[in-house]
Amino acid sequence: MSEERRQRSVDPATLEMLARASAEGINTVFDRAEKMKPCPIGAEGSCCKNCAMGPCRVPAPRGKEETTEEKKARVGLCGATAETIAARNFCRMIAAGSAAHSDHGRRIVEAFRIMAEGKAKDFTVRDEQKLLKLALDMGVEIGSRSNQEIALDIAHRCEAEFGKQEGELLFIKNAPLKRQEIWRKLGVVPRGIDREVVELMHRTHMGVDQDYRNIMRQGVRAALADGWGGSMIATELQDCLFGTPSPVLSEINLGVLREDMVNIIIHGHEPTLAEMLAEVSAEEEITAYARSKGAKGVNLAGMCCTANEVLMRHGVPIAGNFLQQELAIITGAVEAMVVDVQCIMQGLQEVAGCFHTRLITTDSRAKITGAMHIPFDEQKARECAIAIVKTAIDNFPNRRGGVHIPQAKQPVVAGFSHETINYLLGGLFRASYRPLNDNIINGRIRGVAGVVGCNNARTPHDSAHVTLIKELIKNDVLVLSTGCGAMAAAKAGLMVPEAAKEFCGGGLAEVCEAVGIPPVLHMGACVDNSRILIAATAMVKDGGLGDDISELPAAGAAPEWMSEKAIAIGQYFVASGVFTVFGATWPTLGSREFTEYLFRDMEEMYGARWAFEPDPVKAARLMIEHIDRRRKALGIDKARERILYDMAMRRQLEG
């Protein structure tokens, strides 16, 4: 394998399939990334195309200091400064990211309401406990009412969160009290989810908000409307509908595909259809139909965050993360790739055309030219799922061009929801975060890190995730992970309990062994970053580590980020008090002043800031240094020897 190929990914299955793609002359995102370099002006946030007088380009001078006159002249036609342009571009990324997660949340609320109204016969409340928890959180009467009645009230309250014009989002109350006060003082508490996104789009329109601090204030508000609003609603209601994740053993990587079975890949983000596909594909009638076409049965596998959803709840294996979507089709073994929304590359259709694979879109919001469209309707969920599975089965005899499935796959233990972590740390008898806090205080665990986010074809696939995470756990930092980052860790064998012995520092390994958990905990899809917010809040509330998330020895990272959702997530992490390091690229470097505002000034306002470091080892060091500073501030930076007092020593004390 050539050195050039090796640098594209650290994952052997990916490299194997890239070699096949190259041999067959099939273009992938990896090839396109080599042929087309990113626009340097757009990459640093210095291009304004918000009106037809532009696009205006105001790039920062390279290799020299800018004079005052030069800086003064670096404006768009309307006079917008590099600061305003960078802030507008950054905030429009937040708006799009928040909109994506929140629209996901909205669709889940709709499905939940239809279920509560009795119109979606194939769905029910699978987790009554989560339903009751939401009822308590939202002030919905429980009494002797049925689950359907309670669910309907919750659905209406959640629906109202999107269109609310004033007041505060309900889940803001879930944050630590001190954090709520910081938000109120700064005027960034979201009023309604849609309102904050719409207002942000308005304020970044030509000729509106032209002070980067004021633009950013609304950016924070919209990001919080995502993390503590749309995303949190999505996570909570999905748990009600499909079950709160608990530990489950499965496998990950392209090796989970089967030559002798009908392979269906579910790709995207919303779990409603995927849940039904998981149920239907295992039914005897479907297996018999697959046999009639020469296959042994149906093998369902996931891709991207839909994969995380059905892995966490059903143990459905994962075929790969974002950059592996085209490669799965290049195995020649995929009968259907079923997609819904977000992170679906249009290049899939071109690749599918080289094989027999059916690319099936299922959501009216996301169609792809040339792909087959089978609309998913929650009220006819089962019928839709059966139609999709049968389409895939019918396609099995059409395989052409040979099947080549890499052998690479790894076991993964997933399903670490906040609730499950709480349970694992004390059982039903005394579930709490106390053991975690105690082990942070006594120094066995140095701190906690959230490592999340995408893959980016501009950086070696999975490399930064795996390197960063290994560096953290080696230094006794417990890692919580979601999205494509979690998949990268799982493929590297970091999401099994045995990984503790091989990769961790002594303290973290001891705790992992005692609790029986991996050192990197899979907490779900990217929308489930809200679980990390709740876990951080639980650590604060349990006591001993300060009164706010910003006081915790904790940090966040997205070393291979790519999507606008990642920026929204990063911003709600920072605004919630988490020091957050991004890798790959940084979209505001065109304005030093605005970048310093994000990288320095935010610390004074929110107790946390952004940082950019493309080297994963250096990024890990930044996070560990931050964790150590927080430990020092809490007075837990020095190891204290534990002394077992005998009676004589006690008497001496009393004397």
Partner 1 sequence: MIENKVIRDTPGWGKIEVLGETYEPGSPRGEEAGRWRKKLETREEKLKYLRTAERYWYSADWFGSERRKNPA
Residues of the shown chain interacting with partner 1 in the complex, contacts defined by CB under 8 A: 127-129, 132-133, 136-137, 142, 176-178, 243-244, 246-248, 315, 415, 419-420, 422-423, 426-432, 540-547
Residue closer to partner 1, measured from CB, 84 or 417: 417
CA angle 630, 632, 633 (to 5 degrees): 65
Residue closer to partner 1, measured from CB, 348 or 545: 545
Can you read off the two tokens belonging to residue 542?
């349990």
Residue closer to partner 1, measured from CB, 52 or 428: 428
Residue closer to partner 1, measured from CB, 433 or 572: 433
Residue closer to partner 1, measured from CB, 391 or 432: 432
CB of 316 to partner 1, least distance (A): 12
CB of 546 to partner 1, least distance (A): 7
Long-range contacts of 637-642 (CB under 8 A, 24+ apart): 639/443, 640/442, 642/442
Residue closer to partner 1, measured from CB, 41 or 431: 431
Give the contacts of 391 (CB within 8 A, at least 6 positions apart). Answer: 336, 358, 360, 372, 374
Give the contacts of 371 (CB within 8 A, at least 6 positions apart). Answer: 339, 348, 349, 352, 359, 360, 361
Residue closer to partner 1, measured from CB, 148 or 432: 432
Using alpha carbons, select from 542, 571, 539 the residue that is nearest to residue 552.
Answer: 539
Using alpha carbons, select from 534, 509, 512, 515 the residue that is nearest to residue 523.
Answer: 534
Residue closer to partner 1, measured from CB, 44 or 419: 419
Q: Give CA–CA dist 231/106, Å, rounded.
A: 9
CB of 130 to partner 1, least distance (A): 8
CB of 429 to partner 1, least distance (A): 5
Q: Give CA–CA dist 182/158, Å, rounded.
A: 24
CA angle 72, 77, 78 (to 5 degrees): 90
CB of 36 to partner 1, least distance (A): 45
CB of 578 to partner 1, least distance (A): 18
CB of 542 to partner 1, least distance (A): 6
Residue closer to partner 1, measured from CB, 300 or 457: 300
Q: Give CA–CA dist 45/387, Å, rounded.
A: 45
Burial class (CB in 10 A: 0-12, 13-18, 19+), 501: exposed
CB of 499 to partner 1, least distance (A): 18
Residue closer to partner 1, measured from CB, 79 or 143: 143
Residue closer to partner 1, measured from CB, 59 or 315: 315
Give the number of other CB atoms < 10 A from CB of residue 146.
10
Residue closer to partner 1, measured from CB, 3 or 429: 429
| Sign of the dihedral through C-alpha 397, 399, 404, 405 | negative
CB of 430 to partner 1, least distance (A): 8
Are 228 and 533 within 8 A, CB to CB? yes
CB of 553 to partner 1, least distance (A): 15
Residues paired with residue 56 on neighbouring β-strands, in sequence order = 48
CB of 423 to partner 1, least distance (A): 5
Angle between helices 82-116 and 271-281 (to 10 degrees): 50
CB of 250 to partner 1, least distance (A): 11
Q: Give CA–CA dist 104/110, Å, rounded.
A: 10
Q: Give CA–CA dist 447/623, Å, rounded.
A: 10
CB of 424 to partner 1, least distance (A): 8
DSSP 8-state symbol, 293:
T
Residue closer to partner 1, measured from CB, 247 or 320: 247
CB of 153 to partner 1, least distance (A): 16
Can you read off the two tokens belonging to residue 73?
């002249």
Using alpha carbons, select from 436, 513, 521, 433 the residue that is nearest to residue 480.
Answer: 521
Give the number of other CB atoms < 10 A from CB of residue 201.
17
Burial class (CB in 10 A: 0-12, 13-18, 19+), 72: exposed
* Residue-wise DSSP of 140-155: ---TT--HHHHHHHHH
Residue closer to partner 1, measured from CB, 13 or 131: 131
Burial class (CB in 10 A: 0-12, 13-18, 19+), 156: middle
Q: Give CA–CA dist 220/321, Å, rounded.
A: 29
